[in-house]
């Protein structure tokens, strides 16, 4: 079955994206002895977002599809920015997304000893040297895109001298920035990254795992490939900006004494989403400037934000599989993510009636004081979800939007003289309204047809609309937040603009006086429920009376209104 456009297939021999094709080819020619091992390597210096999810899903799915393994490995080579609590949060988020690292959490810092030994090997081979130049001088002597760099005056030190100096660096004899260890490659190389890259820098800093054991720390380039090799990674998958690092990645591994195969780096395009930003810097700015309530604000594209918002992990996984991988930068429409949330939630979320903007409805011919329990399916898509009972009485609340005194064309809901169905209740016909001093509709009057309790009229007459309701005397009260796009512009910051300029000032609208049917009490903290006809809402984990709108239902009437007003 599926091939084009649905890369989630795991049938061998099926065509797919360039990464899967590569792995299949490796498998066929025995490159890694039939092994497939990947890794997800975040730096523990912030929270994971939907862009990371793409990488997580790719790496773990690849391993699962080809019978391999995938590890979570923290790239913790820079003690200045990293923290243990970030690492813990990342582990939690990966688990929440639905993946388990095959060997628990691994750390680049676990390889500091091995990395150090490899560095000494390189020095002994005359391929690395200690440079006394400061950062500014190194930068100046690197040259430019069009001009070659200049050799450091310390480039030709003997291996003995380099070894001595490097050991003294490690022993703490020098201050931060006083010396670095550099690879001895080619200061005129057309790839700037090959112009004697820095391997170690001095940082007298406490590391969140190794404490004060080290005062020299490996750079990303020196640590990454070797960490991959150390743990047996076959396919090291990273984003496009590391493309230029690949020759370096290979150079190091080619000049070291490895136990196993040389891992292979492959790059793919990172994810962008419309009406959002994903750079760490912008996300941090949103939090620090108070545009959102924190890293787990439901408007944030962080996994914690999406979780609080009610996005099911499965929907995120399916989304990531659907968008596939390529080497072209692009921006996915946020509507696609939402459509995956709807698809999943439609199958799994229980239904409840909630009225967000209450309008009193009085049924004139329904006996005062009478209450009957109406049965309603928990989920029409899933009979095994059972049913609940909702109290029905003479005075109800309906949605203010479901009534119009003077209805325009194509408005099928309640209006004077018109009959509609109350969901899981009876047919009612509007007989009139009560208005307040300002002439606003304060209450709608109607009569009900006791013969329509089955949902159908015995005489076969039809109604065009079914609306939701709650019994006024039995309703619970609560609050709901309606979210819109955080950024009004689909591409915030495009053409050099400041993304913050397009912040949507109305991205969170609080509804303070929503009314719920009593069975809303069954909804657990964090659980997502469908408010019938309105959308999916997640009960806040900490504030039980608060619901976050995950995503609305498709709204045909809203679309008609939009079209009419556009005319």
Q: Determine the interface stretch with RNA among 63-71, 379-387, 504-512, 518-526 (rule: CB under 7 A).
A: 379-387
Residue 327 binding RNA, by CB under 7 A: yes
Select from 34, 117, 139, 434 the one that contacts RNA (CB under 7 A): 139
Interface with RNA, residue 336, by CB under 7 A: yes
Residues whose CB falls within 8 Å of the CB of residue 395, separated by 6 or more in sequence, listed in order = 360, 361, 362, 363, 471, 472, 473
Chain center to CA of 36: 26
Phi-psi region of 222 (alpha: psi -120 to 50; beta: other; left: phi over 0): alpha
Contact 299/550 with Cβ under 8 angstroms? no
For the question of residue 43 being annotated catalytic, the response is yes
Asked if 198 and 182 count as a contact pair (C-beta separation under 8 A), the reply is: yes
Beta strands in 484-521 (DSSP E): 508-516
Q: Is 491 in the site for RNA (CB under 7 A)?
A: no
Counting contacts by CB under 7 A, is residue 193 touching RNA?
Answer: yes
Site for RNA contains 411 (CB under 7 A): yes
Q: Which is nearer to RNA, 296 or 399 (CB)?
A: 399
Is 456 a residue that touches RNA (CB under 7 A)?
yes
Please, what is the minimum distance in Å from the beta carbon of residue 72 to RNA? 14
Tell which positions 505-534 bind RNA, by CB under 7 A: 530, 532-533
C-beta of 31 vs 293, nearer to RNA: 31
Q: Is 333 a catalytic residue?
A: no
Q: Which of 113, 160, 381, 501 binds RNA (CB under 7 A)?
A: 381
Q: Give the Å distances, CA to CA, from 205 to 82, 158, 212, 218.
A: 11, 29, 7, 13
Minimum gap (Å) between residue 376 Cβ and RNA? 8
Nearer to RNA, 455 or 544 (CB): 455
Q: What whole-number distance in Å separates Cα of residue 273 and Cα of residue 471?
A: 41
Residue 410 within binding range of RNA, rule CB under 7 A: yes
- Binding residue for RNA, selected from 26, 69, 71, 78, defined by CB under 7 A: 78
Q: What's the min distance (Å) between Cβ of 296 and RNA? A: 22
What contacts 69, CB < 8 A, 6 or more positions away? 36, 37, 38, 63, 102, 103
Which of 20, 35, 43, 308 does the annotation list as catalytic? Answer: 43
Q: Could you give the CA distance from residue 539 to residue 553 in angstroms, rounded to a whole number?
A: 17
Question: Does residue number 559 form part of the binding site for RNA (CB under 7 A)?
Answer: yes
Binding-site member from 92, 155, 220, 545 for RNA (CB under 7 A): 220
Residues 200 to 219: which contact RNA by CB under 7 A?
201-202, 217, 219
Q: Site for RNA (CB under 7 A): which residue of 49, 264, 342, 539?
A: 342
| Residue 187 binds RNA (CB under 7 A) | no
Catalytic site residue 280? Answer: yes
Beta strand pairing status for 37-40 and 427-435? unpaired
Number of residues that bind RNA (CB under 7 A): 95
Residue listed under structure tokens 């299949």: 24
Cross-strand bridge partners of residue 332: 273
Does 335 engage in binding with RNA (CB under 7 A)?
Answer: yes
**CB 10, CB 20: distance < 8 Å:** no
Residue 32's φ and ψ, nearest 5 degrees, are: -110, 30
Nearer to RNA, 336 or 473 (CB): 336
Please give the helix or strand (H or E) that residue 14 lies within, else none. Answer: none
The structure tokens listed for 218 are: 């490996």
**417 sits near RNA (criterion: CB under 7 A):** no
Indicate the DSSP class of residue 494. G
Q: Which of 10, 17, 161, 545 binds RNA (CB under 7 A)?
A: 17
Catalytic residue from among 24, 270, 445, 479:
270
- Report the candidate in 264, 274, 378 with the shortest Cα–Cα distance to residue 35: 264
Kindly list the catalytic residues. Answer: 43, 270, 280
């Amino acid at each position: 079955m599926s091939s084009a456009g649905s890369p989630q297939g795991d049938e061998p021999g099926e065509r797919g994206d360039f990464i899967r094709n590569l792995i299949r080819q490796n498998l066929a020619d025995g490159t890694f002895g039939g092994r497939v091992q990947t890794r997800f390597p975040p730096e523990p210096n912030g929270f994971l977002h939907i862009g990371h999810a793409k990488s997580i899903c790719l790496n773990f799915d690849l391993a699962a599809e080809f019978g391999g393994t995938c590890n979570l490995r923290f790239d913790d080579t820079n003690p200045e920015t990293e923290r243990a609590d970030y690492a813990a949060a990342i582990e939690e988020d990966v688990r929440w997304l639905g993946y388990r690292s095959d060997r628990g959490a691994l750390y680049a810092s676990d390889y500091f000893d091995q990395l150090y030994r490899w560095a000494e090997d390189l020095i002994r081979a005359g391929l690395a040297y200690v440079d006394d130049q400061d950062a500014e001088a190194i930068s100046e002597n690197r040259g430019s895109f069009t001009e070659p760099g200049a050799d450091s005056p310390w480039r030709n030190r003997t291996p003995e001298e380099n070894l001595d100096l490097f050991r003294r660096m490690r022993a703490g004899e020098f201050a931060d920035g006083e010396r670095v260890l550099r690879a001895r490659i080619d200061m005129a190389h057309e790839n700037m990254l090959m112009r004697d890259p820095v391997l170690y820098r001095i940082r007298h800093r406490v590391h969140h795992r190794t404490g004060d054991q080290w005062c020299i720390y490996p750079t990303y380039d020196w640590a990454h490939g070797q960490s991959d090799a150390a743990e047996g990674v076959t396919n090291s998958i990273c984003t496009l900006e590391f493309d230029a690092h690949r020759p370096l990645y290979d150079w190091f591994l080619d000049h070291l004494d490895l136990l196993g195969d040389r891992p292979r780096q492959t790059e793919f395009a990172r994810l962008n989403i419309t009406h959002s930003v994903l750079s760490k810097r912008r996300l941090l700015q949103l939090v620090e400037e108070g545009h959102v309530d924190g890293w787990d604000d439901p408007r944030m594209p962080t996994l914690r934000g999406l979780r609080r918002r009610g996005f099911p992990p499965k929907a995120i996984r399916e989304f990531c599989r659907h968008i596939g991988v390529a080497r072209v930068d692009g921006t996915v429409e946020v509507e696609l993510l939402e459509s995956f949330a709807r698809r999943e939630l439609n199958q799994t979320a229980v239904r409840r009636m909630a009225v967000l903007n209450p309008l009193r409805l009085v049924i004139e011919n329904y006996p005062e004081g009478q209450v009957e329990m109406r049965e309603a399916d928990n989920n029409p898509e899933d009979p095994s979800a059972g049913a609940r009972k909702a109290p029905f009485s003479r005075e109800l609340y309906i949605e203010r939007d479901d009534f119009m005194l003077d209805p325009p064309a194509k408005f099928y809901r309640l209006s004077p003289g018109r009959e509609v169905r109350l969901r899981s209740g009876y047919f009612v016909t509007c007989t009139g309204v009560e208005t307040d001093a300002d002439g606003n509709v304060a209450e709608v009057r109607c009569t009900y047809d006791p013969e329509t309790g089955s949902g159908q009229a015995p005489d076969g007459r039809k109604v065009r609309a079914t609306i939701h309701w709650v019994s006024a005397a039995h309703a619970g009260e609560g609050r709901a937040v309606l979210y819109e796009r955080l950024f009004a512009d689909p591409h915030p910051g495009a053409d050099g603009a400041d993304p913050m300029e397009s912040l949507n000032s109305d991205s969170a609208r609080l509804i303070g006086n929503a009314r719920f049917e009593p069975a809303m009490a069954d909804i657990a903290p964090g659980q997502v429920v469908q408010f019938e006809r309105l959308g999916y809402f997640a009960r806040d984990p900490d504030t039980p009376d608060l619901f976050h709108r995950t995503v609305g239902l498709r709204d045909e009437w809203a679309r008609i209104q939009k079209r009419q007003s556009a005319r």
